[in-house]
Amino acid sequence: MLDMPILQRRRIEAMILKHVYEVIKERSGEEEARTVIGKAVSNAAIEHGKSMAEALGHEPTLKDFLDIMPLWTKDDALEIEILEADEKKLNFNVKRCRYAEMYREMGLGDIGDLLSCNRDGDFCIGYNPNIELTRTQTIMKGASHCDFRYRMKEKAE
């Protein structure tokens, strides 16, 4: 399952989480539904990061991260413009996001950030907590592009 295109995984997950979200929203309100789905998806992202790191067999670097990016971009899921890539930083913009398109088509645009965008930083927690993501905008929230800025934190001496 580690090599399944991420877009395909997200569609399957969203088909189930949509119903979970609706039940929680009906019983406990939208805020609680967003909190629960957000926490569950965050935990899944951290776990996914850990499993990808374990499969690698060493502490992942930004180059390793760049090497697995095709899992997210497979089937034209993302149109990416790499701005800078070295051992300390990986900066790119996403110019087209089929994840956002898919969630909108599924009627889940209002929780697409929970189902997809919020995973990005959480994945790093499991993959390598020294990799930090900064992002100020997303297509999911209406921006023209997503601005991904990853950096490798300096290790404490």
For range 141-151, the mean pLDDT: 97
Q: Taking the model in full, what pTM does it have?
A: 0.90
- Residues 97 and 112: beta-carbon distance below 8 Å: no
CA nearest to 132, candidates 118, 149, 155: 149
- Sole residue written with tokens 């670097």: 61
pLDDT band at 157 (very low <50, low <70, confident <90, very high): very low
Supply the pLDDT for residue 3: 65
User: Quick one: fold of 6-152?
Assistant: Muramoyl-pentapeptide Carboxypeptidase; domain 2 (3.30.1380)
* Residue extents of the structural domains in the chain: 6-152
For range 1-30, the mean pLDDT: 91
pLDDT band at 79 (very low <50, low <70, confident <90, very high): very high
CA gyration radius, the chain: 16
Residue type for position 149: R
Is the confidence at residue 13, as pLDDT, over 70? yes
Secondary structure class of 115 (helix, strand, coil): helix
